Chain A
Amino acid sequence: MNAPISIPETVPDNTNRLAAIAAGEPFTSEIHPELDQEQSCLETRNFNLHYGAKQALFDINFKVPKGKVTALVGPSGCGKSTLLRCVNRINDLIDIVKIDGEMTLEGDSIYAPGVDVIELRKRMGMVFQKPNPFPMSIYENVVYSLRIDGENNKKVLDEVCERSLRGGAIWDEVKDRLHESALGLSGGQQQRLCIARAIAAEPEVLLMDEPCSALDPIATLKIENLLEDLKGQYTVFIVTHNMQQASRASDYTAFMYLGRLIEYGPTPTIFQKPHLQETLDYVTGRFG
């Protein structure tokens, strides 16, 4: 973590509020007014999630603005991945998950009964924490989402493949070996391939769960540069552990703690003068 190291002698005055959250007292998220002017792509209302008896998300009310990069930060285990995985309903695969509240994509409810989950997922792309290329060629990896839709026109596939790989900033490295196994790529290349795969189907929102955490610094740098390229092209919702990454690549930053959304606002404000002391403590590395 690239935050100032200076740890204040005096205990910060937020201990009480954090303790209150830990004790389960009700809490209202601090949402900056700038967000009201944004057109929303993704929205949640009173969103709660339980893993069995354990609650992981508490009354999340928030929105991801269209065409912007939104970063989600917070200490480990605070529910960032959980929230992200709710968006494309990958959490449905876990039997014990119980959800209540509302979530919408472009106004369409995600959790309403009768929603076609598969059609829903086709509107999003997702990049996982660990690169997960499929056991097939680079080419087939990229066009996977088209293949499963039954697209077999070589011209279309070739075009999408090239465009996506360029979008993933990996075209030049793999253009001569498109038909070799994707598992032969390095970790960083694999992750950029996964990004290319995720944008191949022109998703309405791109979900990323700590896409750099399993990579070495050079690969991380490449992906961060790529994130800046993606900014402005896609609606991106990215979970990150890295404050620098969040501050550099995102337009908005949300801070989560213990399953609650604490503060959410424009990235510069969150990093320089957040409304809450806890947020400042976290982004400056005083806890977390």
Chain B
Amino acid sequence: MNDTQTSSDKQSSVPATRRRISSPAASLISRAEPALWLTGGSMVLCMVMIISLLSFVFYNGTKTFWPVPIVEATLHDGTVHMGEVTRRGTFIPPASRLDEMPESFRKVVEDNDGEASRKLIRTGNFRVSGEHFNWVADFEVAEGGLKEPEWAVLLERLTWGRFYGTPLKFQIGEEVVADTPEATWEQFKSHHGEVRERRERRRKLEKKGLGKLNHAMEKRRLAIRQTELEFGKDSDEYRKVVEDNRQPLDTLSQKYDALVKEIQALDQENARFVMTMQTASGQDVDIHVSEIVRAYPANRLNAGNKVGIYISRWIEYLTSEPREANSEGGVWPAIFGTVLMTLIMALLVSPIGVLAALYLREYAKPGPIVTVVRIAINNLAGVPSIVFGVFGLGFFCYIMGGTIDEIFFSEKLPSPTFGTGGILWAALTLALLTLPVVIVATEEALAAVPNSMREGSYACGASKWQTIKRIVIPRAMPGVMTGMILSMARGAGEVAPLMLVGAVKLAPELPFDSYAPFLHLERSFMHLGFHIYDLGFQSQNSEAAKPMVYTTTFLLILIIFLLNLTGVGIRAKLKKRFKGSAV
């Protein structure tokens, strides 16, 4: 206030330009452009927050699979812990323990405000020790008790998680073919491939071979059952069907038995390969080679080996199914479920959203009703997503699904087909959730179509619908794509409603397989977002699941990013058609 006063006082004597510079506030405005600092500062703040979040996820997500050395810690009381150091931290040891620790350590702890440092060691060997992890305080470790033993080997197993130990001997059948760590490791390396190959073959036989036979037999049995229901047990038709099917069914079950034999033979062959490992505490454990997914002597790896293990773990993660309550193995079903669900959702939401927006923008007369509808749509975007989940469960799963079951799948009742959570209902629920995004974006795109183009079209004798179809929609298409991209990003990252309408911790089958109709939209599915929740909060072994949470988060972000990138690519292509040097 005062400032302006003085400057206006000076007005008479001082020329206008000089007067402005003489006032400090004015000079700040004229030189430094505070709006620039304000806007730029906000922008930097946003960038810093986003980039730090992304780099945090990226760093933690990508380091999970990197092999780290195995340490062996011998404590004062003689206990030995062997495993990978996963975390370091400090804690305040109880006074009773302060007394028993060596003088040198006590001093360090006291200097440190009573805080002692410790390591979390992933010791594995759950069946032997009953623990997956152990905290080891530095003061507990005996003098020179921290080593990286050369022949410490990490085993990743199909069941029971990781095993840390030293290879002791290798047996094929009754014969011991190696009894030193080095020779045992060599034996393991030379036999692991064939054993794994046999296991893979067995898995395929079981899944594909037996599955197909089962499916064929089930079909014939159902045919017989249907005839029985229709004509009764002592009708000619029934006898004829039974007679017709006897021969094929016999052949099928013979094939079935043969397959089972083949599988058993493979199992027996595999069971002959056994590696004996010694744990850090000196216990010998026999481990079937067929149980081992991956093994490596962590302290003998060169950089090339490490990269190889890293890549092979990523491949396993991306392509295989989860094991051990999702904390190990891969997430392929979840990737598949996420992408499929998102695509179905986009396919459902875009036509509905675009048509609704077209009505609002092109047909409806602007007025209070349209305004109210628009406000309602915008508010829909603010409804908590769990509400959509509840609605989806009640309306889609129970009412719509239940009705479909009654009409089309009555023979399978009371077990529901569509009347429970499934990928279709999840996609529909999310379509509803993201509808406002599509409508708002499309409306904006439609509003941005110049009126002169509409008038031009009308002047050529086009009807309203022709104008919309040939001029307005093509021209608005990039904007519509923006809406779709936003809705996909929103939908793919949503978890809460999915838990109610079809996402499960572990889906027995993918929603897509080789049996007609191939796409099984009624099936429940796995979803990366739900997988993250499940790993992070529902896991028994949460410490082991934690790195996987980061990796899965990283993967989910990557997938959403890729989906968006596809959308942006399509949009850029569309936009190119409408670009050109105007005037």
Contact = CB atoms under 8 A, between A and B. Distances in A.
Contacts of B365: 95
Contacts of A118: 461-463
Band of interface residues on A: 35 or more
Interface in A145-200: 145, 147-149, 181-187, 190, 194, 197-198
B581 A186 contact: yes
A285 B340 CA distance: 70
Q: How large is the interface on B (under 10, 10 to 19, 20 to 34, 35 or more residues)?
A: 20 to 34
Contacts of B454: 93
A126 interface: yes
Contact of B455 (A128, A215, A216): A128
Interface stretch (A12-20, A132-140, A220-228): A132-140
Contact of A201 (B452, B460, B463): B460
A201 B461 CA distance: 10
Nearest to B579: A183
Contacts of B458: 90, 93, 121
Contacts of A266: none
B456 to A, nearest CB: 4
Contacts of A182: 580
B459 A124 contact: yes
A142 to B, nearest CB: 10
Given A132-B450, A135-B453, A181-B578, A122 B583 contact: no
Contacts of A257: none
B475 interface: yes
A66 interface: no
Contact of A135 (B455, B474, B581): B474
Given A132-B452, A148-B470, A126 B582 contact: no
Between A88, A125, A135, A181, the greatest number of chain B beta carbons within 10 A of the residue's beta carbon is seen for A135
Interface in B1-53: none
Contacts of B462: 118, 144-145, 148
Contacts of B578: 135, 181, 183
A135 B475 contact: yes
A206 to B, nearest CB: 11
Interface in B171-213: none
B457 interface: yes
A130 interface: yes
B583 to A, nearest CB: 3
A148 B460 contact: yes
Nearest to B452: A132
Nearest to A123: B461
B534 to A, nearest CB: 48
Contact of B582 (A95, A121, A183): A183
B358 interface: no
A275 B456 CA distance: 37
Given A132-B450, A181-B577, A144 B457 contact: yes
B142 interface: no
A214 B583 CA distance: 9
A121 B457 contact: no
Contacts of B461: 118-119, 121-122, 145, 148-149, 201
A194 B456 contact: yes
B466 interface: yes
Contacts of A197: 456, 460
Contacts of A183: 578-580, 582
A4 B450 CA distance: 38
B57 interface: no
A132 B449 CA distance: 11
Contact of B460 (A119, A144, A185, A215): A144
B386 interface: no
A134 B453 contact: yes
B271 interface: no
B136 interface: no
Contacts of A122: 460-461
B404 interface: no
B581 A184 contact: yes
A239 to B, nearest CB: 14
Contact of B580 (A93, A184, A214): A184
Contacts of B470: 134, 136, 144, 147-148
Interface in A108-124: 118-119, 121-122, 124
Interface in B561-583: 577-583
Interface of B: 365, 450, 452-463, 466, 470-471, 474-475, 577-583
Closest 9 CB pairs of A and B: A183-B580, A187-B583, A122-B461, A184-B580, A126-B459, A132-B452, A145-B460, A132-B456, A121-B461
20 contacts: A90-B458, A93-B454, A93-B458, A119-B461, A121-B458, A126-B459, A128-B452, A130-B452, A132-B453, A132-B456, A135-B475, A144-B457, A144-B470, A145-B461, A148-B470, A181-B577, A181-B579, A197-B456, A214-B583, A216-B583
